[in-house]
Amino acid sequence: MKKKTRVFAFALAIMLLLSLMPQTAVNAETEEKKTIDVMFTHDLHSHLESFATVENGETVIVGGMPQMKTLIEEQKAKNPDTLILDAGDFSMGTLIQTVYETEAAELRMLGNIGCDVTTLGNHEFDYRGKGLSNMLETAAANGDAVPAMVLCNVDWETMEAAGLTENQQRLKEAFDTYPVQDYVVLQKGDVRVAVFGVFGKDSLACAPTCDLLFKDPVEAAKATVDEILEKEEVDLIACVSHSGTWPKEKDSEDEILAKAVPEIDVIISGHTHSKLEEPIVHGNTYVVSCGEYGKRIGSFRMEMTGDGIWEMVEYELLEVSPDIPENKETKARIEELKKSVDADYLSKWGYTADQVIAQNDVVFSSVNDLIMYHEDYNLGNIIADSYKYAVEHAADFNGDEVAVAIAPSGTIRDSYPLGDITVGDIFNSFSLGIGEDGVPGYPLISAYLTGAELKLLAEVDASVSDFMTTARLYNAGLGFTFNPNRMILNKVTDCYLIDKEGNREEIIDDKLYRVVSDMYSGQMLGGVTSLSYGLLALDLKNADGTSIESLADAIIYVDGEELKAWTTIAQYMGSFEDTDGDGTPNVPSSYEEGKQERKVAEDSKSVIELIKNPNKYAVMIIGAVIVLIAIFVGIILLIKKLIKLMIHKKQ
């Protein structure tokens, strides 16, 4: 009995000593083991299924939510508490977007694959306030699991003070119904996470049909993070941002956000379609991106260190490819949603999504080529040719020939694969927008420009598109030569029209020429004068030379229906000759790269080539520089004179 008492007393003494020992080391060890796994997407653009695209000159099959769901399930088998995030632009890019309002397919499928939180991107506003509010209400009412939605910088206060417009009121009600919140707090294992959303400045600039006003994203993020820290007990703060990263750090919105709000632990960065092989790090904030269209899904692990700082210890971009088994349930859900596309949208033109329009042996350039490099690319050219063809072959064509057709790189969303080109492939290549009729797809517009303005159009493309790459122009009927080394707004050295036989035709400066483009291009061209503060005068006109007051008045109608840009591509490809006799048209070899030379770059640094034939803009710029130099010299001389006068007075 005494022995047992001594053992018990000894045990009590040990326990007492342990209780008196400092707890810091033990707690630190525990904190260091706190981890969270995250998978993320952004800029899916309605790409629910695998699709064919062009990468590095090769046709490849990529993406697909059924494959993505398999990857997510594999990760959740390891850690059921994995957090799944999306950073917006989940819509607008394939035929499934045509049932955006009635099916809310994109949000429902994000919910299907297990996405916890998403935000709005600029393309969610493409169908205007009515379309977005209908989509949110459809998603909320259908009964499927959908992700939480966060967006902290909508400026409801200013809008309500001014009185909400009809569309703003509809959106306010839809935001409340879904609901769209500034932030949400989630429990993932032993980690409590706050996720908030933000809408960037460039996103707003890219959303001309957006009815809402927004606060400065950085200031709103600061206020939201302060609220989270004050009201919530959280371990980690994540931001789903539709702002993006850019090559220049000073312009990179999500890097600016990371530096301005250091309390954010990680930013999922959407909008710019960036593919970050390694995270960008500013202080203790990580910025991550995995690229567009669901070609990849991002995956990372964060670990809390002893001082409460989160460290990203693993980071990987997982390729989503046909090698990954499809989740059958997800595939079946997509197939069910697709049925309404043929019935409710494509039937209007007598098409089905899988219908083959043409066979293709031509390697088309990628969308990335169009944006990154200022050259003559067949992908842009064939779309511009389609515009011209469809207008001039319409049943009600009145003989007013199209001199020039224009397609900008910013509206071209995907390339054409080798092999069969389907209706779905064609729609995917030009999937943006909505018309005045409320039907998905940008319509074509018709306007008139003078010959001098056509030359200015070429100069804007040659001089400005390197700074605004989505504004690179691809033309049918217009050719020009430019030297990239010449002075800005003086790069074009030759500009001319190309007739139907491919012959050169000189441009008459004061003559009116008919130009067709899609609605987006028309909006962009119509803004050249205001954006340049009147320096570049480009006025879209009616046939009688009067200014077009509203682009809605310039929309081209065929048989009383808007002529949709994407349908012109289908019409044009369907007109190609069946060269192999199998009953399906073939894309002609004339579209092989390097054969058309509508834009020719003469990369010369010869002094003579750099200064010869200056245009009026070069003269204006040189004159302005001379005036500035004269003013500067005059100020220096005046200062010297004043100094001498002061010295003379002192003497």
Average pLDDT by stretches of 10, the chain with 651 residues: 44 42 41 85 96 86 97 97 98 94 96 98 94 96 95 98 96 97 97 98 91 98 98 97 94 97 98 97 98 97 92 97 96 93 94 96 89 87 96 92 93 93 96 90 96 92 82 92 90 93 94 94 70 69 94 94 96 96 95 85 83 68 69 78 73 62
- What 3-state class would DSSP assign to 52? strand
Distance (Å) of CA 603 to CA 274, 375, 491, 492, 611: 29, 12, 11, 12, 14
H helix runs in 489-615, sequence order:
519-526, 528-531, 565-574, 607-611
Enclosing H/E stretch for 299: strand 296-304
Residues 6+ apart with CB under 8 A from 389: 568, 571, 572, 575
User: Quick one: pLDDT at residue 629?
Assistant: 77
CA triplet 514, 519, 525: central angle to 5 degrees?
65
**Rounded distance, CA 336 to CA 329, Å?**
11
User: Quick one: pLDDT at residue 624?
Assistant: 64
Burial 55-83 (b: 16+ CB within 10 A, else e): eeeebeebbbbbbbbbbbeebeeeeeebb
User: Quick one: pLDDT at residue 476?
Assistant: 95
Query: What does the block give as tokens for 434?
Result: 């909505």
Residues 6+ apart with CB under 8 A from 306: 28, 29, 31, 32
**Rounded distance, CA 111 to CA 147, Å?**
5
User: Quick one: pLDDT at residue 538?
Assistant: 82
Query: What does the block give as tokens for 109?
Result: 């499928």
Q: Which region, left, alpha or beta, applies to residue 308 given φ > 0 means left and ψ of -120 to 50 means alpha?
A: left
Distance (Å) of CA 334 to CA 49, 178, 247, 315, 546: 8, 22, 36, 30, 49
The pTM (predicted TM-score) of the whole model is 0.82
Query: Contact 310/265 with Cβ under 8 angstroms?
Result: yes
- CATH T-level assignment (fold) for domain 357-601: 5'-nucleotidase;  domain 2 (3.90.780)
Q: Where are the beta strands (DSSP E) in 375-498?
A: 404-408, 419-422, 444-450, 473-476, 478-482, 492-498
Distance (Å) of CA 229 to CA 217, 224, 226, 263, 620: 18, 9, 5, 9, 55
Query: Contact 128/211 with Cβ under 8 angstroms?
Result: yes
Map 465-519 to HEC letters.
Answer: CCCCHHHCEEEECEEEEECCCCCCCCCEEEEEEECCCCCEECCCCCCEEEEEEEH
User: Quick one: pLDDT at residue 604?
Assistant: 83
User: Quick one: pLDDT at residue 386?
Assistant: 97
**Rounded distance, CA 629 to CA 456, Å?**
28
- CATH T-level assignment (fold) for domain 10-319: Purple Acid Phosphatase; chain A, domain 2 (3.60.21)
Query: Contact 279/312 with Cβ under 8 angstroms?
Result: yes
Neighbours of 594 (CB within 10 A): 9
User: Quick one: pLDDT at residue 59?
Assistant: 86
User: Quick one: pLDDT at residue 521?
Assistant: 82
